[in-house]
Amino acid sequence: MEWVFLEETDSTNRVAKELARQGAPHGTAVLAKRQTAGRGRLGRQFFSPEGGLYLSVILRPQCPVEDRALITPMAAVAVYRALMEDLCIAPRIKWVNDLYIGDKKLGGILCEGCGDAVIVGIGINLYTPEGGFPADIPAVALDPWPGLVDVRELATDIRNYLLDPGPFLREYRSLCLTVGKNVTVHPVQGEPYAARALEIDHRCRLVVERDGHRETLDSGEVSVRF
Ligand code: BTN
């Protein structure tokens, strides 16, 4: 079974995890038209009404465990490539996993481990929902001409890039909107602090300058002061 298509589910990541536990192979993908409990990073919810792309792909990577951190940035580049190819739309990437158009979020990526598998969950706002996005979500949708987006084709292209990404670091660096900006770092533990984003290193970590010192971040949340 390569694909599972659902009208509605709580979370495609939850379904994909269950399939991974049952032994579903590398590349199995779950695509839903809407989610009732879409999950975002850091325990947040991901608003998932009809009109978006909600995709989870099971990967069974052969790489060392420490390289798994590269899957999230690789997935961001996979989404960029598919959006460019299918719709000529070029989002940028806010480190490490958010897709942006201008200063608004177009979508996000949530990678979750499950035994030897990694579930790559991708949400993209294709159409603005009736009534708009909730006021507390600075989100944007692509809103292409109705019928222009073939969601299954877009999902297939994303999956293909996930399964065969090739080199992606250079692309990631050129797409990352965070570098060069003043940012607020929200560490997993401790108080938020102001910094300046300097570069993406060879492991896709964010190097920042804080009070004249360089720090390398491999996790946590960084908000950009646009
Ligand atoms: C984020 O922006 O914090 C990550 C959002 C990831 C949302 C996607 S939608 C498909 C998959 N299923 C989920 O429950 N979450 C991910």
The CATH number for 111's domain is 3.30.930.10
> 56: CA distance to ligand 1 center in Å?
8
| AA letter at 181 | K
Query: What pLDDT score does 220 carry?
Result: 79
Last residue of a domain, one of 138, 153, 175: 175
Residues 151 and 188 in one domain: no
Q: How far is CA 9 from CA 12, 32, 36, 39, 156, in A?
A: 7, 7, 6, 12, 19
Work out which ligand 1 atom sits closest to the CA atom of 12: 12
User: What CATH number corresponds to the domain at position 217?
Assistant: 2.30.30
Look at residue 72 and tell me whether its pLDDT is greater than 90: yes
For residue 1, the tally of other CB atoms under 10 A from its CB is: 8
The verdict on pTM exceeding 0.75 is yes
Residues 115 and 202 in one domain: no
Helix/strand/coil for 132? coil
Which pLDDT tens digit goes with each residue over 168-190?
Answer: 999 999 999 999 999 999 988 88
With a Cβ cut-off of 6 Å, ligand 1 is lined by: 11-13, 35, 38-41, 44, 46, 54-56, 98, 108-110, 121-123
Residue 9 belongs to domain spanning: 3-175
Residues 84 and 186 in one domain: no
Residues 12 and 105 in one domain: yes
> 41: CA distance to ligand 1 center in Å?
7
Q: How far is CA 1 from CA 11, 58, 65, 140, in A?
A: 19, 12, 26, 33
The mean pLDDT value for 16-40 works out to: 98
Q: How many domains does the chain have?
A: 2
Query: What pLDDT score does 116 carry?
Result: 95
Residues 135 and 165 in one domain: yes
Residues 152 and 219 in one domain: no
CA dist 101 and 78 (Å) reads 16
Closest CA to ligand 1's atom 2: 108
Closest CA to ligand 1's atom 11: 121
Residues 171 and 186 in one domain: no
Closest CA to ligand 1's atom 9: 123
DSSP state of 90: -
Sheet-wide strand order for 52-59: 3-9, 29-35, 52-59, 117-125, 104-114, 98-101, 92-94
Residues 46 and 109 in one domain: yes
Residues 16 and 105 in one domain: yes
